[in-house]
Structure formats: C-alpha cells, structure tokens
Amino acid sequence: MSTQRRPLIAGNWKMNGLREIAMPLAGELATKMNNAAPTSFDMLVCPPATMIDAVVDVAYESNLAVGGQDCHMAESGAHTGDISAQMLQDLGCSYAIVGHSERRADHGEMDDVVRAKAEAAQAAGLIAIVCVGETEAERDKGITIDVVAAQIAGSVPPASTSENTVVAYEPVWAIGTGRTPTSDEVQEVHAMMRTKVTEILGADEADKIRLLYGGSVKPSNAVELMGLADVDGALVGGASLSHDDFWQIAESCP
C-alpha cells in the first residue's frame, strides 16, 4: 500500500442488527477510535437505514464515519421506499456504498444505474464506494479481469476524484462464504483496477484513489490482504458485526 493512500476499513452491516445490538457496537468503535487517535486508518460503518440517525449520534465527535448501504440516483421524487444521497448527507453520512453485488443481484442494478448512483452520491458531497466483482462462474471461465475491468469502465463516473470515490473489489463468490482468492489473485485484480482507473481518471488521481478488498475478510487473513501493494483497506460484512474482529482487521493495516 502506498503511503499516500490512507487505508479505509468499512463495515457493511447489511440488513442486520436492531438498536439494542447496533448501538453498543457503534459506541465501542467510536470509543476505540477516540482512544486510539491518531489512527493510521479511516473507519466507516454502514448500518441499515433505520439506524443511521442513531449511529451518527453515537459517532458524534469521534472519527468513526457513517455511511449508507445504497442511495437512489435521483435527489427526490416518487420513489417509494428509496433514500436519496442528499438524505444520507442530511443525516450526517459521509459515504454511500453503491453497486454492492447484493444490490446488483437482488435489484437488477446494472453498471449504468450504479454509475448514476455514484454520481448522485458525489453530487451530494458523499464519498461513493463503487463495488465490482466477478461471480464464481466468471472466475471459473477465466474472465475475472475482463469482467471487473468492464464493471469499472461502466460504474465509475468519469469525473470521479480520489476525494469523492473509493472502488471496492468484492468477488461475489467470496462474500459471506469464508473463501477468499489467493493474495496473488487479489493483487492481480487490484493492479488491473489501478490501471483501469488510470485510463478513466488519469495517473495522479489513480495513484491516490483507495481500492478496497471485500469478501470474507477476517482477523486471520487481514494482515496478508491489507499488506498487498494495491489494497488500501477492506469492505467487511460479517466480521464488522463484532467490534473486536472489526477492530483487529483495522489494526492489520500496515
């Protein structure tokens, strides 16, 4: 990892947790962030939308950032059940995940929708975390690099900067399965991602942009994954629901 890229450890709580469990979890992390300041990493939690407000309160005056797990591409309008990027920003969020594979699979979100959502997040002053990653069938066919390169070309807005965008590589088959690619495979994809981002944003921005790895990151594999040259942090699902595991992952950053 380059010294000019500050690692980001992001927790995606998905549709998990009620206030009784989530509030102490956020509180522990906010306290740890304060006690450990200055940390060598940024830390973010993305709770379910129902708890963003309360988690923002708990994280108040700490360095724990809060984000949304998705946002709509429009600022407002007749979109029942959806949440705009502006609404997330209004609640106190600083990030929004877009294009998570569960959104792509469950809601049929294609690259053009993901790009529009990323643009909406950026326009609202949020940092968009754009997720990409191949399915198991695509890896088995040997087309991982092509698939991820095409997703980046289609999902990352051309006007993105390293300040308002993070890209997360999450092999779909590694999410929640306990399986991960080898370190060489992760680094191969991340190196390609930086090359691809260079084509879109230019060398200066591509050098500074953070590329996260996600998919079964846990304390036991974090040191190796976070030590890879083009890995600048992690997007963590299951292990982000334990403050001890999540903190250990964060402390694995070089």
Q: Residue from 46, 85, 217, 250 that binds ligand PEP (CB under 6 A)?
A: 217
Residue 214 in the binding site for ligand PEP (CB under 6 A): yes
* Whether 136 is catalytic: no
Rg of the chain in Å (alpha carbons): 17
Residue 93 in the binding site for ligand PEP (CB under 6 A): no
Interacting span for ligand PEP (CB under 6 A) from 182-190, 195-203, 234-242, 246-254: 234-242
The vertex-6 CA angle with 156 and 169, nearest 5°, equals: 40
Q: Residue from 41, 238, 245, 250 that binds ligand PEP (CB under 6 A)?
A: 238
Residue in the block written with tokens 């590694």 = 174
Residue 216 in the binding site for ligand PEP (CB under 6 A): yes
* End-to-end alpha carbon distance in the chain: 8
For residue 231, give Cα distances in angstroms to 146, 184, 208, 224.
19, 12, 12, 10
Smallest distance, Å, CB 182 to ligand PEP? 16
Across-strand partners of 168? Answer: 131, 212
Across-strand partners of 84? Answer: 72
Residue 151 in the binding site for ligand PEP (CB under 6 A): no
> Rounded to an integer, what distance in angstroms lies between the CA atom of residue 139 and that of residue 220?
24
Residue number with the shortest CB distance to ligand PEP?
237
Residues 4-43 that bind ligand PEP (CB under 6 A): 12
Cβ distance 56 to 66 under 8 Å?
yes
* Whether 170 is catalytic: yes
- Selecting among 102, 109, 134, 170, the annotated active-site residue is 170
Q: What is the DSSP letter of 172?
A: G
Q: Residue from 1, 88, 128, 235 that binds ligand PEP (CB under 6 A)?
A: 235
Number of residues that bind ligand PEP (CB under 6 A): 13
Residues 152-181 that bind ligand PEP (CB under 6 A): 170, 175-176
Residue 67 in the binding site for ligand PEP (CB under 6 A): no
> Rounded to an integer, what distance in angstroms lies between the CA atom of residue 214 and that of residue 131?
9
Smallest distance, Å, CB 76 to ligand PEP? 28
Residue 202 in the binding site for ligand PEP (CB under 6 A): no
Smallest distance, Å, CB 37 to ligand PEP? 26
Residue 236 in the binding site for ligand PEP (CB under 6 A): yes
Catalytic positions, written as ranges: 100, 170
Q: Which residues bind ligand PEP (CB under 6 A)?
A: 12, 170, 175-176, 214-217, 235-239
